[in-house]
């Protein structure tokens, strides 16, 4: 187990290296530069000043050299400074992290409590009308554009004091109730789509499991239907749901860009968006690195949960 | 095909898509109003039969219904082309990696892993920022998001076939590789690709609208559902219809593709087929 | 006795606690929503609007603008102008920087020299570049000598970019982008980038009894609609809102106060005058004749702007009425004739660079595009993201561009840098002997009576040559919750009057 985790963590390194190389070169392909954004449209700088600025902004050296410099600092745990604010990148990113984590987990929670029961219901109902109508409802949820739903929420509920955050974020540990209230609609906007995904997976895997011999045997043995569902079917059916929930969690931690944008929430996604807009190279690199790390870590945790739920799965064999 | 027609979900999906296609065809010949023509005297008018603006007008006095109709073609075009390009390149890479195995497989799949660890919208934003904002680049950006997804799906299918006893036997008995490939690979790989494609079409509509919503997609004055929502954002409190109808249009088409995809999965996935 | 003592103790405890709780509840905090994060705080270096709004509260200048854009004393209690090239400033006594040190003439000398030093790359340098020498006459007396008369000198000193900074602080920190050691009514307490900045009351502020507020929190909320929603929800007390539709919504709400006044920023539609066909004045004139400013204001700004000529319409002592400017009233027949004369009887196609933000003027570009159809000219929009917009601006890579220019009520300040052939932000690459001559002339004359005819002529010449089509000045709009009292607008977004604001 420990060895497995260690090996998985080790395999993080080439992915992160790949991500960082791609991002490092990609961001510099975006037209415009951090230096120009810094100067804006109103500044006239002297030639000697420009030279100094170019050195500070790294425009006097080739990109591969900059990458090696950056990697060297990274190995010492230094993600560098934001070119726009002059502040250290890492603390700024870590400051955004709690919101993204809270939003992710609230959304995940909402989607699970909506998605799993509906999925089970849809799988168990044999009459096609109920099944089809639940499925269509689910697909409808999947088809709602998140940002549109969020915008409608803003139109509809902006009159309710404290429910629409609009940039006014408070931490979970500072004011738990306010935090929950503010993040309710944003989480719901994300959660509805995710609930639809989870419902689909629950339904499909329930159907599959219910077809299996041992369930049929159990039912034939006269076990009450409810017991069969809970003890056997659900336990097995939940496995693919864990995978898909984990996968989406990984993405969400990287930021729900449009939701953060509509509700003006200071999360990772919006930080990433503005870093790109501002050509803030070291910030973009830092964010992408953190996002990729979270993504891989969440997938690792998912696999561990998976193994814990299903003792048949041995972790060592699932590599490859 | 006959199975498709018996599946109510797929059928509803097809009907919705057909409706939108019809709108695209009609919009080539007739629109209630010129979707680009501003009308200063009729800014932000609410939907009404009297004025003929059934969905109201936007902040430039342009007819929203006409703009939605015009935007349908753009959205569909983007979704279809992006999915086609992503599916073609991705499938090719996946098949290639699956069959060759070894180092090629390793590197192609590592690249896919790297691309996978980006949220797809962020990846698309990156590509748009580099290429610049216009309709063709939206297609490229979305197809880049799709390439690793199709690569994975098709590689998985190839590996499954490779391990199939019959294929192994054919290989070891010295049958022409190319012959075996075309004989067994294509039919088996088509199913997952078709299902994946129908889902990708729906996601492409959402991605396009999200990009345009962030101001990185289709550029004004050309109407796309996303940029209609983007500009509606400023006036939506004043004139909610500017936001409601384009959103409904998106939802309808995405729903159509999702229904079709779900129905197709029912039909094509043999494990689920006999459960009824 | 013991019991009495116990009660006494309890009372004392209550007495000790209650006022403390009470006082904490009384703290007056004003939360301002801003749509952009400040990019640095060094008053001599900053260029962004958002940074300037923080500098308004953190620093002082020798002189400042009052709410009518008149020059009034700030750190300089008074000044004398013995001849039109010499200015002697008498400083206020006992003014303390936020670090507790006293402001002296040394700091003034240091600040002006720092602005003038090309290494600082201060945008303020061009405002006061005619300073020849600075002499400290005493701890509270400074003499500034100019190399040539510059009518807009005091106007320049009133700019935030000419704020007085602490010599010791600059020597300590290098630059002041991340710290604030000013003399302003508020002090920097906490800065969480892209989220919030907290300023607290400066207890040693030189105007006794001011400010009334204990704390000002800037909260970054990039969406105009979200700013209004914040005020409605009570999480914000105040915001400057530029987006007209949002303002219309605010006006519908009786719990919200909307303050408006024509600002000094100017929306422009400018050409790269070295590119064909815009090197031909007739083409530019034709486009000018096809543009209906009132319609643009109605559509793009919901009527919340004032059409303007080359000098911001709000600067009434200088600005000519639009009726006196040639090529300002739409005349499509004449426009078409001019185009035909220039060799484009069937119009032509060109591109407008614009960005999807208030500054980038996307709606304005769309209306212009629509209007130009009337004379057969096909404008294609190049809607670019803001970083690329700036890239194009810097490289002068555009046929035409819709901009929002930071204007000034002082014509020399605004037009010299914008349109003189040597002007720092003349990105129209416009070179014209007449325009240069008039600008040079207006700059050295000192009295209003002498200058007025020069600028009258300049306005007509600029309208005729039309390198830039000046469109309108957007209203400056502050949206406040009802409890906020005593704020005054200056005309360029300044938050200075927050020092007299109560809540």
pLDDT, tens digit, 9 for 90 and up, residues A78-117 = 888 887 666 788 888 888 888 888 999 999 999 999 988 8
Same-domain pairing of A239 and A149? yes
The whole-number pLDDT of residue C3 equals 42
* Stretch B186-207: mean pLDDT: 84
Q: Does domain C266-474 have CATH number 3.40.50.1110?
A: no
CA distance linking residue A273 with residue C325, whole number of Å = 44
Residue with the bigger pLDDT between A68 and B110: it is A68
pLDDT over 90 at C130, yes or no: no
Kindly report, residue by residue over A125-150, the tens digit of the pLDDT: 767 787 778 878 888 888 888 888 98
Q: How far is CA B41 from CA A209, B57, C302, C303, in A?
A: 63, 11, 12, 13
Is B119 in Cβ contact with A139 (below 8 Å)? no
Chains in touch with B (≥3 Cβ pairs < 8 A) = A, C
CA distance linking residue C430 with residue C423, whole number of Å = 10
**Residue numbers in C near A49 (CB within 8 A):** 118-119, 121
The whole-number pLDDT of residue C376 equals 93
Class for the domain spanning C16-35+185-261+476-500: alpha beta
Same-domain pairing of A179 and A129? yes
The whole-number pLDDT of residue A59 equals 79
pLDDT over 80 at C490, yes or no: yes
* Stretch C236-249: mean pLDDT: 85
List all residues of chain C from 130 to 169 with a beta carbon under 8 Å from chain A: none
Same-domain pairing of A37 and A100? no
The whole-number pLDDT of residue A171 equals 77
Q: Indicate which of B68, B106, B122, B272 best probes the interface with A, i.e. most A CBs within 10 Å of its own CB.
A: B122
Residue with the bigger pLDDT between C209 and B186: it is C209
pLDDT over 60 at C19, yes or no: no
**A253: CATH:** 1.10.3720.10
Which of the four pLDDT bands, split at 50, 70 and 90, describes residue A166?
A: low
Which of the four pLDDT bands, split at 50, 70 and 90, describes residue C12?
A: very low
pLDDT over 50 at A70, yes or no: yes
Kindly report, residue by residue over B67-89, the tens digit of the pLDDT: 999 999 999 999 999 999 999 99
pLDDT over 50 at B272, yes or no: no
The answer to which of A6-10, C23-27, C193-197, C452-456 has the lowest mean pLDDT is: C23-27
The whole-number pLDDT of residue B138 equals 92
pLDDT over 90 at C290, yes or no: yes
A91 touches chain C (CB under 8 A): no
pLDDT over 50 at C344, yes or no: yes
- A29-33, B34-38, C436-440: which has the highest mean pLDDT? C436-440
Kindly report, residue by residue over A8-35, the tens digit of the pLDDT: 788 778 888 888 888 888 888 887 777 7
pLDDT over 70 at C127, yes or no: yes
- Residue ranges covered by each domain of chain B: 56-269
* Stretch C108-116: mean pLDDT: 92
CA of A15 vs chain B CAs: smallest distance (Å) = 6
Same-domain pairing of A104 and A226? yes
Kindly report, residue by residue over C152-169, the tens digit of the pLDDT: 888 889 999 999 999 988
Is A258 in Cβ contact with B214 (below 8 Å)? yes
CA of B81 vs chain C CAs: smallest distance (Å) = 23
H or E segment and range at residue C191: strand C186-192
Q: Tell me the pLDDT of chain B averaged across its residues.
A: 84
| In a domain? residue A82 | no
Which of the four pLDDT bands, split at 50, 70 and 90, describes residue A49?
A: low
The whole-number pLDDT of residue C302 equals 86
The whole-number pLDDT of residue B6 equals 75
C393 touches chain A (CB under 8 A): yes
Which among B220, B234, B237 is the nearest to C366, CB-wise? B220
Which of the four pLDDT bands, split at 50, 70 and 90, describes residue C21?
A: very low
**pLDDT more than 90, % of chain A:** 4
Is C221 in Cβ contact with A264 (below 8 Å)? yes
CA distance linking residue C276 with residue C284, whole number of Å = 11
Is C245 in Cβ contact with B38 (below 8 Å)? no
Q: Tell me the pLDDT of chain A averaged across its residues.
A: 80
Residue of C nearest to A40 (CA): C390
The whole-number pLDDT of residue B81 equals 96
Q: Tell me the pLDDT of chain C averaged across its residues.
A: 87
pLDDT over 60 at B274, yes or no: no
The whole-number pLDDT of residue A126 equals 65
pLDDT over 70 at C20, yes or no: no
Give the dihedral sign, CA A15/A20/A23/A24: negative
The answer to which of A43-47, C121-125, C274-278, C461-465 has the lowest mean pLDDT is: A43-47
* Stretch C444-462: mean pLDDT: 90
H or E segment and range at residue C438: helix C433-444
CA distance linking residue B190 with residue B262, whole number of Å = 16
Secondary structure (DSSP) of C327-387: T-S--HHHHHHHHHHTT-TT--EEEEEEESSTTTBHHHHHHHHHHHGGGT-EEEEEEE-HH
Is C194 in Cβ contact with A266 (below 8 Å)? yes
The answer to which of A193-202, C302-311, C367-376 has the lowest mean pLDDT is: A193-202
Is A158 in Cβ contact with C219 (below 8 Å)? no
The whole-number pLDDT of residue C461 equals 96
Q: Report DSSP state, residue C498.
A: G
CA distance linking residue C356 with residue B211, whole number of Å = 13
CA distance linking residue B229 with residue A273, whole number of Å = 19
Q: How far is CA B263 from CA A139, A206, B3, B50, B150, in A?
A: 11, 17, 10, 41, 20
* Stretch C475-494: mean pLDDT: 91
pLDDT over 50 at B100, yes or no: yes
Quote the tokens at residue B39.
Answer: 């009308």
Residues 6+ apart with CB under 8 A from A217: none
* Stretch B171-191: mean pLDDT: 71
Kindly report, residue by residue over A261-317, the tens digit of the pLDDT: 888 788 888 888 888 888 888 888 888 888 888 888 888 888 888 777 776 655 544
pLDDT over 60 at A43, yes or no: no
Which among B114, B122, B259 is the nearest to A257, CB-wise? B122
Equal fold, C16-35+185-261+476-500 vs C61-167: no
Chains A and C form CB pairs within 8 A to the count of 118
Is A135 in Cβ contact with B9 (below 8 Å)? yes
CA distance linking residue C63 with residue C75, whole number of Å = 7
CA distance linking residue B11 with residue B263, whole number of Å = 8
Q: Indicate which of B44, B57, B129, B133 best probes the interface with C, i.e. most C CBs within 10 Å of its own CB.
A: B133
Provide the residue range defining the domain that includes A20.
16-75
The whole-number pLDDT of residue C14 equals 39
Residue of B nearest to A15 (CA): B114
CA distance linking residue C466 with residue C11, whole number of Å = 79
Same-domain pairing of A23 and A121? no
Is B230 in Cβ contact with C356 (below 8 Å)? yes
**What CATH fold (topology level) applies to the domain C61-167?**
Dipeptide-binding Protein; domain 1 (3.90.76)
The whole-number pLDDT of residue C495 equals 93
The whole-number pLDDT of residue C17 equals 39
The total number of structural domains in chain A stands at: 2
Same-domain pairing of A153 and A262? yes
Which of the four pLDDT bands, split at 50, 70 and 90, describes residue B269?
A: low
pLDDT over 90 at C471, yes or no: yes
Give the dihedral sign, CA A157/A158/A160/A162: positive
- Residue ranges covered by each domain of chain C: 16-35+185-261+476-500, 61-167, 266-474
The whole-number pLDDT of residue A161 equals 64
* Stretch C217-242: mean pLDDT: 85
CA of C173 vs chain B CAs: smallest distance (Å) = 36
**pLDDT more than 70, % of chain C:** 95
Q: Which residues of C217-247 are buried (b: 16+ CB within 10 A; e: fewer)?
A: bbbbbbbbbbbbbbbbbebbbbbbbbbbbbb
Token pair 């002499």: residue: C135
**Residue numbers in C near A99 (CB within 8 A):** none
Architecture of domain B56-269: Orthogonal Bundle (1.10)
Is C383 in Cβ contact with B215 (below 8 Å)? yes
Q: Report DSSP state, residue A81.
A: B
Residue with the bigger pLDDT between C469 and B183: it is C469
Main-chain phi, psi angles of A88, to 5 degrees: -65, 140
* Stretch C306-332: mean pLDDT: 91
């Amino acid at each position: 187990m420990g060895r497995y985790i260690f090996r998985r963590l080790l395999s993080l390194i080439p992915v992160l290296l790949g991500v960082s190389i791609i991002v490092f070169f990609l961001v510099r392909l975006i037209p415009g530069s951090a230096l120009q954004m810094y100067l804006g449209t109103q500044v006239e700088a002297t030639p000697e000043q420009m030279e100094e600025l170019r050195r500070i902004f790294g425009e006097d050296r080739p990109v591969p050299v900059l990458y090696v410099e950056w990697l060297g600092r990274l190995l010492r745990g230094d993600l560098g400074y934001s070119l726009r604010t002059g502040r250290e990148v890492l603390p700024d990113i870590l400051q955004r992290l709690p919101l993204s984590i809270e939003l992710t987990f609230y959304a995940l929670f909402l989607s699970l409590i909506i998605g799993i029961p509906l999925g089970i219901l849809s799988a168990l109902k044999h009459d096609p009308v109920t099944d089809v109508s639940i499925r269509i409802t689910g697909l409808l949820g999947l088809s709602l554009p998140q940002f549109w739903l969020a915008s409608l929420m803003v139109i509809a509920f902006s009159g309710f004091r404290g429910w629409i955050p609009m940039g006014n974020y408070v931490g979970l540990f500072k004011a738990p109730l306010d935090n929950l209230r503010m993040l309710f609609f944003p989480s719901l906007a994300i959660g509805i789509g995710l609930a639809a995904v989870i419902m689909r997976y629950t339904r499909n895997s329930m159907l599959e499991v219910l077809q299996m011999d041992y369930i049929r045997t159990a039912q034939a043995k006269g076990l009450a239907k409810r017991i069969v569902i809970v003890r056997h079917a659900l336990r097995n059916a939940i496995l693919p749901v864990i995978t898909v929930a984990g996968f989406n969690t990984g993405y969400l931690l990287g930021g729900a860009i449009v939701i953060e944008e509509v509700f003006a929430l200071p999360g990772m996604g919006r930080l990433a968006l503005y870093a790109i807009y501002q050509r803030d190279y070291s910030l973009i690199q830092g964010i992408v690195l953190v996002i990729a790390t979270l993504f891989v870590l969440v997938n690792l945790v998912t696999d561990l949960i998976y193994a814990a739920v299903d003792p048949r799965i041995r972790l060592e064999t699932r590599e490859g | 095909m006959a199975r498709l027609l018996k599946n109510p979900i797929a059928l509803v999906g097809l009907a919705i898509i057909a409706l939108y296609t019809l709108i695209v065809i009609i919009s080539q010949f007739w629109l209630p109003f010129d979707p680009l023509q501003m009308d200063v005297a009729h800014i932000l008018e609410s939907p009404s039969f009297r004025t003929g603006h059934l969905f109201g007008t936007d902040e430039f006095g342009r007819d929203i219904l006409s703009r939605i109709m015009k935007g349908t073609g753009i959205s569909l075009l983007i979704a279809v082309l992006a999915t086609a390009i992503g599916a073609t390149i991705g499938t090719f890479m996946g098949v290639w990696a699956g069959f060759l195995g070894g180092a090629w497989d390793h590197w192609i799949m590592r690249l896919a892993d790297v691309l996978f660890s980006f949220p797809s919208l962020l990846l698309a934003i990156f590509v748009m920022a580099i290429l610049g904002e216009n309709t063709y680049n939206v297609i490229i950006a979305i197809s880049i998001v799709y390439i690793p997804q199709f690569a994975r799906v098709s590689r998985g299918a190839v590996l499954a076939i490779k391990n199939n006893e019959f294929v192994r036997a054919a290989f070891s008995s010295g049958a022409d590789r190319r012959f075996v490939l075309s004989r067994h690979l294509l039919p088996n790989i088509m199913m997952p690709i078709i299902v994946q494609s129908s889902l990708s079409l729906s996601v492409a509509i959402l991605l396009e609208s999200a990009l345009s919503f962030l101001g990185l997609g289709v550029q004004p004055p050309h109407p796309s559902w996303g940029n209609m929502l983007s500009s509606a954002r400023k006036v939506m409190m004043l004139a909610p219809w500017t936001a409601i109808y384009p959103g409904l249009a998106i939802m309808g088409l995405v729903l159509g593709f999702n229904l079709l995809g779900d129905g197709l999965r029912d039909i094509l996935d043999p494990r689920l087929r006999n459960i009824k | 006795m013991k019991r009495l003592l116990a009660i006494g103790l309890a009372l004392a405890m209550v007495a000790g606690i209650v006022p403390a709780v009470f006082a904490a509840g009384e703290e007056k905090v004003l939360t301002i929503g801003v749509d952009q994060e400040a990019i640095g705080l060094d008053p001599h270096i900053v260029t962004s609007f958002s940074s300037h709004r923080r500098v308004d509260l953190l620093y002082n200048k020798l002189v400042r603008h009052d709410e009518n854009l008149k020059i009034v004393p700030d750190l300089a209690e008074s000044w004398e102008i013995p001849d039109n090239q010499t200015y002697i400033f008498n400083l206020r006594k006992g003014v303390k920087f936020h670090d507790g040190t006293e402001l002296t003439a040394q700091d003034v000398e240091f600040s002006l020299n720092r602005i003038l030093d090309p290494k600082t790359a201060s945008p303020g340098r061009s405002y006061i570049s005619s300073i020849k020498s600075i002499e400290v006459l005493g701890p509270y007396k400074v003499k500034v000598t100019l190399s040539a008369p510059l009518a807009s000198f005091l106007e320049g000193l009133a700019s935030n970019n000419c704020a007085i900074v602490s010599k010791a602080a600059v020597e300590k920190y290098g630059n002041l982008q991340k710290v604030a050691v000013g003399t302003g009514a508020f002090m920097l307490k906490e800065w969480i980038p892209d989220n919030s900045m907290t300023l607290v009351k400066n207890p040693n502020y030189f105007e006794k009894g001011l400010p009334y507020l204990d704390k000002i929190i800037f909260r970054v909320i990039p969406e105009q609609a979200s700013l209004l929603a914040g005020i409605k929800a009570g999480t914000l007390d105040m915001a400057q809102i530029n987006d007209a539709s949002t303002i219309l919504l605010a006006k519908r709400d009786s719990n919200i106060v909307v303050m408006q006044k024509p600002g000094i920023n100017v929306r422009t539609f400018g050409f790269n005058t070295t590119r064909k066909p815009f090197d031909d004045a007739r083409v530019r004139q034709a486009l000018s004749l096809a543009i209906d400013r009132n319609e643009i204001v109605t559509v793009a700004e919901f009527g919340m702007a004032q059409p303007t000529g080359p000098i911001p319409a709000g600067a009434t002592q200088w600005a000519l009425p639009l009726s006196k400017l040639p090529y300002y009233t739409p005349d499509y027949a004449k426009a078409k004739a001019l185009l035909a004369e220039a060799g484009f009887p069937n119009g032509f196609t060109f591109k407008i660079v614009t960005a999807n933000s208030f500054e980038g003027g996307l709606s304005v570009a769309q209306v212009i595009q629509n209007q130009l159809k009337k004379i057969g000219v096909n404008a294609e929009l190049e809607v670019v993201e803001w970083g690329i917009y700036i890239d194009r601006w810097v490289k002068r890579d555009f046929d035409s561009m819709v901009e929002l220019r930071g204007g000034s009520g002082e014509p020399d300040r605004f037009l010299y840098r914008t349109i003189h052939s040597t002007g720092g932000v003349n990105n129209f690459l416009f070179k014209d002997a007449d325009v240069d001559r008039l600008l040079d002339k207006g700059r050295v004359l000192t009295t209003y009576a002498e200058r007025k005819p020069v600028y009258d002529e300049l306005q007509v010449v600029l309208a005729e040559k039309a390198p830039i089509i000046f469109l309108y000045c957007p209203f400056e709009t502050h949206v406040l919750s009802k409890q906020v009292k005593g704020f005054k607008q200056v005309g360029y977004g300044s938050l200075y009057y927050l020092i007299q604001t109560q809540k």
